[in-house]
Chains A and B, each alone.
Chain A
Amino acid sequence: MMATRNAEALAAANKKYEWGFSSDIEQDFAPKGLSEETVRFISAKKNEPEWMLDWRLKAFRLWQTMEAPDWAKLNVPPIDYQDAYYYAEPKAKPKLGSLDEVDPEILRVYEKLGIPIEEQKVLAGVEGERKVAVDAVFDSVSVATTFRKELEAAGVIFRSISEAIREYPDLVRQWLGKVVPMRDNYFATLNCAVFSDGTFVYIPEGVRCPMELSTYFRINAENTGQFERTLIVADKGAYVSYLEGCTAPMRDENQLHAAVVELVALDDAEIKYSTVQNWYPGDENGKGGIYNFVTKRALCQGRNSKVSWTQVETGSAITWKYPSCVLNGENSVGEFYSVAVTNGRQQADTGTKMIHNGKGSRSTIVSKGISAGRSDNTYRGLVRVAPGAEGVRNFTQCDSLLLGEQCGAHTVPYIEVRNPSAQIEHEATTSKISDDQMFYAMQRGLDAESAVALIVNGFAKEVLQQLPMEFAVEAQKLLGISLEGSVG
């Protein structure tokens, strides 16, 4: 029995990456390699103001003095930063106002990406559907932004970051690099120097964003590192839900993705940030695959502000990602809900930091790690309570599920408390899918794979139910696909 299932697992691992397609669109490349010239090229390409170029150059000089972090439980092969292109722009038509005008080939790619049905219906002219605004980042350049008008009517600014730098320089300048400082870490500094594009969102005071905002990241050009930069500012009493979803085409070369996401929530504001990440994880021998080294951080600056991170991580060869909350505001709230699935030779080192500086601030961490194949899955987290933060509460739950004997599940939580009124609780469990569970599900008529999918979805449900509807469906599907045949 065991042997058959192992064979099944092997067969599943050998399965080709379902969404590993690539399309040829003419690209405008920056010269290969990384130098001040590259930085100037990117900045010039984007018609950036002088202050932005200076900022980039400062970051680049700083980056040259830094060393890549090595504390994560990851085996990262040396990266040759000179052997990559840092900028690639599709030769898009000028002045794109809506998705209709987009290169048909790009549209075709979107279709394969599975842009939510709502979006397609809206594109087809169906009325009365729930609206989702999509800012599509196609290899580093935002080529189309829909629903801009409706958002503008509400006062919401939803732009690619390069547009925002030109159109709203004061607003961008006020917050860019304030949450993740330039010298924060090696990959964030690199991003500051060479970020290609990304998204800027500003929700004005008292506005509830009329639709969910979403961005699709996609790495398309061979050897192109992607350096996204996202900045979301929710002014007093504002609310926004932001979705980020990713798939990438299959490549042999390792591709580097070093994004920076900064969120700012002022008094009574709330930001909900959801991610489904399904980049190419490499082939059965771990060859190829994306390196995902992302810095995501939220500043809950105002009273009663709230930031909620939800992530479903199924892709990438190596994930290094710790979406965090700095809870400065009184009674501010931070949440982190994560499902990380690793299979094959994937390595994931992910978790969160909750920095409690504000009185009465609260945080919840729910992390579900699922390891299969020969992969390693690590939860790494920090909960810190500052001396002045009275009445802080934190609850952390880290559950690991191991499928098979060749994988690893690790938990590395740090808890640093400097105020006696804090109540910090941490729980963790490690389990496997028991034979009893499998037997029960299968004697009710499910095949082994559906049974595994059912049990895994149940294991991860606390996180999945935090996702917006269309993401939840996609995420459940992803979990099933990622783990096909991996249990015996």
Chain B
Amino acid sequence: MSITLPTRRDEAWRWADLDTLSAARTTPRAEIGDAADHFLDLDGPRLVFVDGAFDAARSDPRRVRVQAIAAETAHPLGMHAAGTGWSLDLDASEAETCIQIAHLGSGGESHVPATLTLGRDAVASVVESYAGSGWANRLTRIRLAEGARLMRSVRLVQSAGFVSLREEAEIGQAASLVSIFLGAGGMGSRIDGELVVTGDGGFAEMGGALLTRGEQRQECAVAVRHAALDGSSMQLWRAVAADRSAASLAARVEVARGAQKTDGEQSLRGLLLDRTATVNLKPELEIFADDVKCAHGATVGELDRAAMFYLQSRGLPEGVAKALLTRAFVADAIDRIGEEPVRAAFLADAEAWLAEALA
């Protein structure tokens, strides 16, 4: 497939690792592990995609349908995610929780679209895991009707290659969307998101932790757009960069004209473990209404010396103190996951990463 990639001259892609993405497209096929390793012990639908193809034998989709989906987006990567994908449609007041989806890549590129449409007061939760290698390109479109609630937890644990995710959501009146991402693998990544709060009193949250080491580059470029009254949103991102890696967080809150009483919160923090690592932050606000509360905070640095000193004075060796504080730093973002077993699994992934990076 011929794909025209954006370039780093484009302002929105200036920190993107497009070289790794290009290289991942042509990686040779390699063995992939067992899909079962990536499922948590939860009762719910399970879907396995191998190199973008649905693996019916190892799946139990239940209400989730696998079908052809068009890629209706102008996003330069998301527009290529057309073909067979998965979709969930829930009618009013229905619930479907703990949907688990494993994306396994053996190399090369794969493109999978998805749609999630929740009726009034419907509830759903989805856990996605990306493992293996190659370039996984995904487009997820979400529509939440009045009062619907969706919790998404996505972990990127590919050992190599690149994962690019594009999320587009419309959040209706008093509906709530929470999407939390953990990048704890060896791949490059780009998490793109555009959440639009279209109904009064809607809530949108997108956040997570990106952990990078080696020559790795991971980034997010997400925006929440408030187009209705009384909306609130939260963007809480943490980046930890070691070795010569780079982690970039770009988050934007947009408040449209007339979207009064919006409360948008942004917190971007970066932690550098080595002097060769890079953290880039871009906490952006675009505000067209006067009666709003939008605060953002951004910090970059190393671990707090006072906290380090305190822990060491209580008898903890330096390495343990460092690990403890780093874990707490990352946990800020992961703690936003509502479901206990999912949160525990994500924290375990983060800890495994930290144990190696801090060793």
Contact = CB atoms under 8 A, between A and B. Distances in A.
Given A404-B290, A423-B301, A428-B283, A417 B274 contact: no
Interface string A410-421: 111111111111
B291 interface: yes
Interface stretch (B24-32, B98-106, B229-237, B292-300): B292-300
For the residues of A in contact with B, the DSSP-based class is: strand
Contact of A408 (B260, B282, B286, B300): B286
Interface string A386-407: 0100000000000010111111
B299 A426 contact: yes
B93 interface: no
Interface in B68-104: none
B180 to A, nearest CB: 23
**Which of A400, A411, A420 has the most chain B CB atoms inside 10 A of its CB?**
A420
B277 interface: yes
Interface residues of B, number: 36
Interface string B287-330: 11111111111111110000000000000000000000000000
A432 B280 CA distance: 30
Interface of A: 71, 387, 400, 402-430, 432
Contact of A430 (B257, B292, B299): B292
Contact of A428 (B272, B291, B296): B296
Given A417-B278, A421-B275, A410 B300 contact: no
Contacts of A414: 280-282
Contacts of B260: 405
Contacts of B301: 417, 420-424
B67 interface: no
Nearest to B289: A405
A27 B285 CA distance: 46
Among B273, B279, B302: residue with most chain A CB under 10 A: B279
Nearest to A415: B281
Given A413-B283, A417-B280, A428 B295 contact: yes
B278 A418 contact: yes
A403 B257 CA distance: 13
A405 B272 CA distance: 41
A417 B286 contact: no
Contacts of A428: 283, 285, 294-297
B287 A400 contact: yes
Contacts of B273: 420
23 contacts: A71-B11, A403-B290, A404-B290, A405-B258, A410-B284, A413-B283, A414-B281, A415-B281, A416-B281, A417-B270, A417-B301, A419-B275, A420-B272, A421-B302, A422-B272, A423-B301, A424-B298, A426-B281, A426-B299, A427-B295, A427-B297, A428-B294, A428-B296
Given A405-B258, A420-B302, A430 B287 contact: yes
